[in-house]
Every structure is written in structure tokens, then in C-alpha cells.
Amino acid sequence: MSANPSRAVASGVGKPRLIKDMPAALWTSAAGTTTFGADYVQDTGGISTNVLLGMRITATLRVNTGGQDFDYVMYAKVTEVDVPGNRYYVDGWIGGTPTNGIAAVADGWIADLPRTLRGGLRETFTPIVNVLKVYRNRKYVKAYGYDYIAIFDYGQKADPDMLFDLRWILQQTLEGSDEAITLIPRSDVPGINYEVYLEDDLTFILHESQDFHKGLTLGFRGKAAVAVPPQLLYGGYGTSHGTQYGICL
């Protein structure tokens, strides 16, 4: 049995999702003028035309539990901008619909990736092991979790819409920065996510007489070690197992 599990994620409700923070918020609603619905946020004080489709709207609620304050964050992806109605329509709030009156902020980008035509999303967990010494034919080692690698194979087809959605996620600052990308393997289970960076080259082959590219593979590597692969932690890929990762994996 391999100690380096690598399996394709089975089809489910959610698709892979990438999220990237903006260096600074692009828009913030006026205090007390914001109302929320299951699929929208409205600001009677006016909205910004600079907020584009695919941006992330975040609402943060300060909660006190047991005498301790903490921030409860809810967010959604902008799907439509209604300037006359002072509304941004969204694809549904992660974390629940925010409470009316709290501020909404446009502070990031969200890209939902299509499933690949072959192989699906391939996640690899490589053990991080340090061999300290070998004494009398016995190895003394220390384990530090798993290195996370995610591969999206769009070698057969990468359509322009997907590339357009990725433009802000993969844009690099020439001055150098530590901007993190959050990868959610299944958008319907946002609690399982990884902070990653793009590792592989971007290769584009313009397919003759077609409106898409070939040859593209997106390779991401985790910035932090993983203690245990969620596929093992929540029941694996058997029939109707792994309910924390998705139904009927």
C-alpha cells in the first residue's frame, strides 16, 4: 500500500474554487444602510461601479461568546451588478446570510473552475520526513505532516471564460509579495481548504480553428503542512463515505 495517496476527487455538488484577497478593499458599504438577502446585498447609500463580476463581498459580524469577542465572517461571489437598484447579486452566502446593518466589503476575487475533461482534480499528499540518522540498520526519523499538491489538467481544453476568471487570481505583483491563494477542492464544503501558491509553468497551445486553448495544467502547492489528508480523516472515497468532504465519494 502506498504511503503517498493520490486520487482524483469524485464528482459532487461543488466545483473547485480559488479565492484571493485584494491588497486593499475596493468598496465598503455605508454604516447602517446595508440589507442582505439570500442572493444579494443592497446599500441604499449607493454601490460602486468598480465592483466586477467574480469579486468577493465579505460581511463580518462581531460575536461575543463566553466573554470573548471574535469575528464571524460571511462571504459570497458577485454574479450581477444592479446599479439602479443599488444591489450586487451573489451566488449564495458562505456562512449564512449576514445581518442587516453590518458593513459589506468588496475585498477579494473568486474563481470557480470547471471540472477537467480527464483525471479530475488530483490531490497528492507527500509525507514530509526527516531522516536524522541510521544506526545499526535502523532509521531514526521525524515526520512533519504532508506536503499538499493539487493538479488541474486542462490539457485537452481551457476555454476563454475560465482563463478570464483566473486573470486576477494568478496575476503576480512584479514588486514581490506574499499574496496567498485559497484553494477549496469542493465549493460545497468550504471548511476544507488549503493556502497555496502556483508552482507549475503556464503553457498555452492555441488550437487551430477552435475557440479554446490546449496544454494548460494548473499546479498548486500548499504553503503549510497538512497533518492528515481529509480523505483519511473523514472516511475515504468509499460509497456514501466522507460526508465531511462530499456525498457519495
Q: Within a domain: residue 217?
A: yes
- Please tell me whether residues 11 and 81 are part of one structural domain: no
Q: Within a domain: residue 239?
A: no
Q: Within a domain: residue 35?
A: yes
CA atoms within 13 A on the CB side of 185: 26
- Please tell me whether residues 12 and 134 are part of one structural domain: yes
- Please tell me whether residues 190 and 92 are part of one structural domain: no
Q: Within a domain: residue 76?
A: yes
CB atoms within 10 A of CB 81: 17
Q: Within a domain: residue 147?
A: yes
CB atoms within 10 A of CB 73: 12
Sign of CA dihedral 99, 63, 193, 162: positive
Using the 3D structure, point to which of 109, 128, 147 is the last residue of a domain: 109
pTM: 0.81
Per-residue pLDDT for 240 more than 50? no
Three-class SS of residue 165?
helix
Using the 3D structure, point to which of 109, 137, 164 is the last residue of a domain: 109
Q: Within a domain: residue 180?
A: yes
The lowest-confidence range among 9-13, 65-69, 120-124 is 9-13
Q: How many structural domains compose the chain?
A: 2
- CATH code of 194's domain: 2.40.30
Q: What is the mean pLDDT of the chain?
A: 82
Q: Within a domain: residue 90?
A: yes
26: containing domain = 22-109
Burial readout 153-177 (b: 16 or more C-beta within 10 A, e: otherwise): bbbebbeeebbebbebbeeeeeeee
Residue type, position 136, single letter: R
Sign of CA dihedral 96, 100, 103, 107: positive
- Please tell me whether residues 45 and 147 are part of one structural domain: no
Q: Within a domain: residue 201?
A: yes
Distance of alpha carbon 188 from alpha carbon 204, whole angstroms: 30
pLDDT digits (tens, 9 = 90+) for 164-185: 888 888 886 656 667 789 999 8
Per-residue pLDDT for 235 more than 60? no
Beta-carbon contacts of 208 under 8 Å, excluding residues fewer than 6 positions away, are none
The confidence score (pLDDT) of residue 96 equals 92
- Please tell me whether residues 80 and 144 are part of one structural domain: no
Distance of alpha carbon 218 from alpha carbon 120, whole angstroms: 12
Sign of CA dihedral 196, 199, 205, 206: positive
Per-residue pLDDT for 74 more than 70? yes
Distance of alpha carbon 53 from alpha carbon 167, whole angstroms: 13
Using the 3D structure, point to which of 109, 142, 157 is the last residue of a domain: 109
Contact 77, 94 (CB under 8 A): no
Three-class SS of residue 48?
coil
